[in-house]
């Protein structure tokens, strides 16, 4: 049992130290959070969020963020109404190391009622 436990701990520890991006839909917004190990951010980092639409390139977006030294995350969000349906792709690129982390999420239906005037 000990032989199995040590390699699993090492694998899990490596996973915890790696950068990651996760997206969730909440209150008519899509939040994507880029997380990294604070110890890997001694001098601050510059990252680029690239939102890639499944159907319409005009709905893509690129935004740059500066993460202060020793901070462990940054997020970007978009409003859900008006976004194209389908599987979206989000990449976050560390501009110093050119390392990329990515994720996908699905939008099944949106309505534009949030933007309608009464």
Phi, psi of 82 (to 5 degrees): 95, -10
Please, what is the average pLDDT of the chain? Answer: 84
Q: How confident is the model at residue 18 (pLDDT cuts 50, 70, 90)?
A: confident
| Residue of 82, 86, 91 lying closest to 107 (CA atoms) | 86
Angle, alpha carbons 69-75-81 (nearest 5°): 165
Alpha-carbon separation of residue 113 from 29, 80, 82 (angstroms): 13, 11, 10
Q: Is 55 left (phi over 0), alpha (psi -120 to 50) or beta?
A: alpha
How far is 2 from 118, CA to CA, in rounded Å?
65
Q: How confident is the model at residue 115 (pLDDT cuts 50, 70, 90)?
A: very low
pTM exceeds 0.75? yes
Q: Which of 1-5, 38-42, 87-91 has the lowest mean pLDDT?
A: 1-5
């Amino acid at each position: 049992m000990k032989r199995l436990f040590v390699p699993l701990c090492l694998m899990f520890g490596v996973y915890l130290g790696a950068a990651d991006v996760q997206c969730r839909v909440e209150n008519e917004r899509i939040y994507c959070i880029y997380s990294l190990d604070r110890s890997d951010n001694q001098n601050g980092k510059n990252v680029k969020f690239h939102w890639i639409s499944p159907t319409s390139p005009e709905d893509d977006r690129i935004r740059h963020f500066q993460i202060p030294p020793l901070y462990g995350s940054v997020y970007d969000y978009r409003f859900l109404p008006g976004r194209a349906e389908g599987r979206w792709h989000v990449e976050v690129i560390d501009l110093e190391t050119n390392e990329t982390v990515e994720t996908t999420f699905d939008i099944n239906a949106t309505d534009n009622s949030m933007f309608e005037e009464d």
